């Protein structure tokens, strides 16, 4: 072998040795890194467990400290709550906090219903209503239980002479004894309350109808003339004072409303009592206001029965009298009722019946004047 070959062999051998050593070093490095990863992975759960244990220890310490603080703050309460019963009783010097009544409960008293003075009903010749309650036939409504006109305080919106006249009229025994339905209808608070009960309104109608109608008519006519006198309420009437107009219309409408309010149905009940207490037909009572100058509302639909027919027949007999307020309201109401009750249900125009009462202010002056002129002409 030549010297050149020896040198080549030694170089090759040295190269192989270096490569072998480098390969061993890489393997050792990889093996050490794997061992390091394994150790770090093994140590991670240990660290998590230590952190959890530390957190639990801290929570326990804080809870113990809070309990100790609470015991110090509320120590007095705990000590007082733990006192024996004997010490508590000795500490309390006042009366017992709780007193137990061992007696048996009282027996509730029995209710005894008694009729009030205003609940008695006077009997009449008419058959008893099937809707009325049984009452003592020997009793009659007392005057104190019957509603009165203008039972609320009169306003101060009057002239002094008119106010004096109205007060005198309301205390006039001849006037109060008539219990005028025509004045109660608009001016009485007590009448409004009585209208909510069939029994009470029936008692009221018994009183208003059980009077001398002829005598009461004369009283009302005289008061109507006096009201318009210059020394009484002429100024207030000219100024359209509402209460004065209500008083005057109620006085002159006494007769038609007396007749209408005293009508009864076939069962003996007052027609007005049926109308005013009919909760299914609220407008049944509206026609009774026609003689007071109150027009029938456009949407009103009173029940088409015999009571309505008889009431409108009465008003028809007074409708042609221009001194009666019903002369201004009857025709419109009759036409409206005929639209839904039938074309022949009531008279469409006011037709005076035989023997219709004259108005309160009918004057004979034109007739007397004509008679005097004829005498002078012929003689």
Least confident of 14-23, 121-130, 254-263: 121-130
pTM here is 0.58
Could you give the CA distance from residue 276 to residue 144 in angstroms, rounded to a whole number?
22
Least confident of 24-33, 138-147, 325-334: 24-33
Residue 18 has pLDDT above 90, yes or no: no
Residue scoring higher pLDDT (200 or 96):
200
Give residue-wise pLDDT tens across range 340-363: 999 999 987 765 543 333 333 334
Give residue-wise pLDDT tens across range 242-275: 999 999 999 999 999 999 999 999 999 999 999 9
Beta bridge partners of residue 264, listed in sequence order:
270
Mean pLDDT of 24-49: 52
* Cα–Cα distance list, 55 to 49, 231, 330, 339 (Å): 10, 107, 99, 94
**CA angle centred on 308, ends 248 and 336, rounded to 5°:** 85
Residue 287's nearest CA partner among 247, 330, 327, 250 is 330
Mean pLDDT of 301-317: 95
Give residue-wise pLDDT tens across range 141-161: 555 589 999 998 788 889 999
Share of the chain above pLDDT 90, in %: 50
């Amino acid at each position: 072998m030549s010297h050149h070959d020896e040198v080549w062999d030694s170089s090759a051998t040295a190269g192989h040795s270096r490569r072998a050593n480098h390969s061993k070093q890489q393997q050792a490095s990889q093996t050490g890194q794997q061992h390091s990863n394994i150790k770090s992975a093994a140590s991670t759960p240990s660290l998590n467990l230590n952190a959890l244990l530390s957190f639990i220890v801290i929570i326990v310490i804080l809870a113990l400290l809070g309990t100790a603080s609470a015991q110090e703050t509320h120590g007095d309460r705990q000590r007082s709550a733990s006192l024996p019963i004997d010490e508590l009783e000795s500490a309390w010097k006042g009366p017992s906090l709780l007193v137990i009544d061992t007696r048996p409960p009282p027996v509730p008293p029995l209710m005894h219903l008694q009729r009030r003075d205003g609940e008695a009903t006077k009997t009449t010749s008419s058959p008893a209503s099937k809707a009325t309650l049984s009452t003592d036939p020997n009793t009659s409504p007392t005057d104190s239980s019957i509603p009165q006109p203008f039972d609320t305080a009169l306003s101060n919106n009057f002239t002094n002479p008119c106010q004096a006249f109205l007060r005198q009229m309301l205390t006039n025994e001849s006037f109060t004894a008539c219990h005028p339905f025509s004045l109660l209808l608009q001016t009485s608070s007590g009448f409004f309350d009585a209208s909510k009960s069939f029994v009470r309104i029936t008692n009221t109608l018994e009183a208003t109808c059980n009077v001398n109608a002829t005598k009461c008519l004369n009283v009302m006519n005289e008061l109507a003339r006096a009201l318009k006198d210059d020394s009484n309420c002429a100024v207030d009437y000219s100024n359209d004072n509402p209460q004065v107009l209500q008083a005057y219309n109620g006085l002159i409408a006494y007769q038609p409303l007396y007749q209408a309010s005293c009508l009864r149905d076939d069962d003996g009940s007052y027609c007005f009592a049926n109308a005013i207490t009919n909760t299914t037909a609220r407008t049944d009572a509206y026609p009774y206001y026609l003689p007071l100058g109150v027009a029938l509302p456009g949407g009103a639909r009173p029940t088409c029965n015999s009571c309505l027919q008889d009431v409108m027949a009465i008003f028809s007999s007074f409708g042609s009298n221009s001194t009666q307020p019903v002369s201004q309201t009857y025709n419109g109401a009759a036409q409206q009722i005929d639209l839904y009750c039938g074309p022949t249900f009531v008279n469409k125009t006011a037709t005076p019946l035989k023997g219709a009462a004259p108005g309160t202010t009918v004057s004979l002056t034109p007739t007397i004047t004509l008679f005097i002129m004829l005498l002078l002409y012929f003689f």
